[in-house]
Amino acid sequence: MSLPHILILGARGRLGSALACDCARGARVTAWGRTEADLADPEAAAGAVRRARPDIVINCAAIADADVCETERDLAETVNGLAPALLARAASDVGARMIHISTDYVFPGSATAPYAEDATPAPLSWYGRTKREGEVGVLAAGEGHAVVRVSWVFGPDKDCFVDKALQLSLRGEPVRAVADKFGSPTYALDVAAALRALFPASAPGGVYHLCNRGVCTWRDWAQQAIDSAATLGIPVKTREVEPLKLSDIPVMIAARPIYSAMSCARIEALLGEPLREWPRAVDAYIRLLRDAGRFGAG
């Protein structure tokens, strides 16, 4: 029996890189970055998908900087809104399943409990609006296609918020983080493992949420990373994260949802077990970095 062929778009990013590595175990993987498939030219990208004839398409490509989306609206509309629909139609044409990665920014942030998969989207920003447009296009292209919303992604293939907090702490510099914005961190390696549940043709399509369990602020997230590092013997110097308000950060252009934690009931039902709690995912990430010698000691 031949191995399934998985095509990953946006494979140079944090999540795409993790998926490319994980999917290589038990599948034939084609990993494309912008050079191979630029979603700014969606018809060309869709044509490339048809020629590749994969069994599964995982689209991680997007303009994910919410502030850039506000200033480059036409480009964001093309990459985040139009391209996913054309890619999903191309996938349908060759009998492939499309798994489209989306975002918690499709929600308005007015909730007080984690958003369920069937909660009504009402994005605040152009980024959220274009990502929602992409979701709708993908779902309309075939009932087997899946939209997977993630949030606050961190992982080993590209520095992120957690890495920056640790770097400041190691140098003894102040570490500050927003303490009035709530969500759920998402460990890229946990996403890669859980997405396997969507590979079989028998897995239902539709909307899924995929993030680590629990709710925190950015300050909580950074504090957990520093506490984990200290427990593992990493020589962090700054031990307390100073709280900031979202309004204290003047460079932000796009509106952000204040509360965007998500319930992952659908994917957990498919997996048959709960996803990992976010503090334990952070612990695992810091341990991975330590073992890789990222802090100067193995």
CA pair distance 137, 42, nearest whole angstrom? 13
**Is 127 a residue of the active site?**
yes
Q: What is the DSSP letter of 82?
A: I
CA pair distance 16, 177, nearest whole angstrom? 26
* 8 A C-beta contact, residue 188 and residue 282: no
Residue with tokens 């095509």: 7
In the Cβ-directed half-sphere of 187, how many Cα atoms lie within 13 Å? 22
Identify the H or E element spanning 141: none
In the Cβ-directed half-sphere of 38, how many Cα atoms lie within 13 Å? 4
Query: Rounded to 5 degrees, what angle do the CA atoms 188, 3, 33 make?
Result: 45
Residue with tokens 């048809």: 50
**DSSP states of 230-274:** HHTT-------PEEE-GGG-TT--S---SB--B--HHHHHHHTSP
Q: Which of 105, 127, 259, 285 is catalytic?
A: 127
Q: Give catalytic residues, as residue numbers.
A: 127
